[in-house]
Amino acid sequence: MLDYTFVMAHGLGFSDEYWENLIKKLPGEFIFYREGLLLNKNKHYVGIGHSLGFQKLNNSGIKFDLLFGLQGFLNFCGTDERLKEIRKKNLDKMIKMFQADWQNALESFYQSCDYPGNIPNNISKEDLVRDFELLKTDNKHCGAKTVIIGSYDDRIVPPILIEDNFACLNNVLIKYVDKAGHSLGFNMSEVIANIIQEEIFKFQISGNFNAVADEYDKYAKIQKQSSNRLAKMAWQSIGNFEVKSILDIGAGIGQTTEEFMAYYPRAEYTLLDISDNMLKKAKEKIKNIKIITADAENYKFNQEYDLCIANLSVQWFVNFEEFLKKIKKGCKYLAFSTLLDSSFKQYKHIFKQKNTEPPTFKYSDELKLLKIAEEYGQIIQKDIFSYKETFPNAVLAAKQFKRIGANQSSHLNNKIVSVLLSRKSKIELEYDIFFAVLIAS
If 0-12 CB within 10 Å is exposed, 13-18 middle and 19+ buried, where does residue 44 land? middle
* Average of per-residue pLDDT values in the chain: 94
Could you tell me if 259 and 227 are in contact, meaning their C-beta atoms sit under 8 angstroms apart? yes
CA gap 396, 426 in Å, rounded: 10
pLDDT at 411: 57
pLDDT at 311: 98
344: amino acid identity, one letter: F
Q: What per-residue string of b and e applies to 431-440 under the rule 16 or more CB within 10 Å gives b?
A: bbbbbbbbeb
HSE-CB at 332 with a 13 A cutoff on CA atoms is 12
pLDDT at 373: 92
pLDDT digits (tens, 9 = 90+) for 23-75: 999 998 999 999 988 888 888 999 999 999 999 999 999 999 999 999 999 99
pLDDT at 137: 96
Percentage, residues of the chain above pLDDT 70: 99
Domain boundaries 4-209, CATH class: alpha beta
pLDDT digits (tens, 9 = 90+) for 69-124: 999 999 999 999 999 999 999 999 999 999 999 999 999 999 999 999 888 888 89
Pairing assessment for the beta strands 427-440 and 377-391 based on DSSP bridges: antiparallel
**pTM metric for this prediction:** 0.90
Residues 6 or more apart whose Cβ sits within 8 Å of residue 83:
77, 160, 161, 164
Mean pLDDT of 367-391: 94
HSE-CB at 72 with a 13 A cutoff on CA atoms is 32
CA gap 195, 428 in Å, rounded: 35
Nearest CA-CA partner of 74 in 189, 150, 184, 166: 166
Fold identical between 4-209 and 220-440? yes
Q: How confident is the model at residue 241 (pLDDT cuts 50, 70, 90)?
A: confident
pLDDT digits (tens, 9 = 90+) for 145-157: 999 999 999 999 9
Residue-range domain boundaries for the chain: 4-209, 220-440
Does position 301 have pLDDT exceeding 60, yes or no?
A: yes
- Residue 102 CB coordination number (10 Å): 20
CA gap 22, 111 in Å, rounded: 20
Does position 2 have pLDDT exceeding 70, yes or no?
A: no
pLDDT at 228: 97
pLDDT digits (tens, 9 = 90+) for 272-281: 999 999 999 9
Residues 6 or more apart whose Cβ sits within 8 Å of residue 129:
none
CA gap 375, 272 in Å, rounded: 24
Nearest CA-CA partner of 301 in 261, 275, 272, 279: 272
Domain boundaries 220-440, CATH class: alpha beta
pLDDT digits (tens, 9 = 90+) for 127-172: 999 999 999 999 999 999 999 999 999 999 999 999 999 999 989 9
83-to-75, 182, 423 alpha-carbon distances in Å: 11, 19, 65
pLDDT digits (tens, 9 = 90+) for 394-427: 999 999 999 999 887 655 678 888 999 999 999 9
Could you tell me if 31 and 8 are in contact, meaning their C-beta atoms sit under 8 angstroms apart? yes
Could you tell me if 72 and 50 are in contact, meaning their C-beta atoms sit under 8 angstroms apart? yes
CA gap 433, 229 in Å, rounded: 11
pLDDT at 302: 86
Nearest CA-CA partner of 127 in 61, 72, 53: 53
pLDDT at 121: 86
Crossing angle for the helix pair 345-353 and 394-403, nearest 10 degrees?
Answer: 120
pLDDT at 334: 96
Does position 1 have pLDDT exceeding 70, yes or no?
A: no
Residues 6 or more apart whose Cβ sits within 8 Å of residue 265:
none
pLDDT digits (tens, 9 = 90+) for 193-208: 999 999 999 999 999 9
pLDDT at 414: 80
pLDDT at 387: 96
Strand partners, 440: 377
pLDDT at 343: 96
Question: Which phi and psi (to 5°) does residue 383 adopt?
Answer: -165, 160
Mean pLDDT of 253-269: 96
pLDDT digits (tens, 9 = 90+) for 329-374: 899 999 999 999 999 999 999 999 999 998 888 899 999 999 999 9
- Residue 17 CB coordination number (10 Å): 13
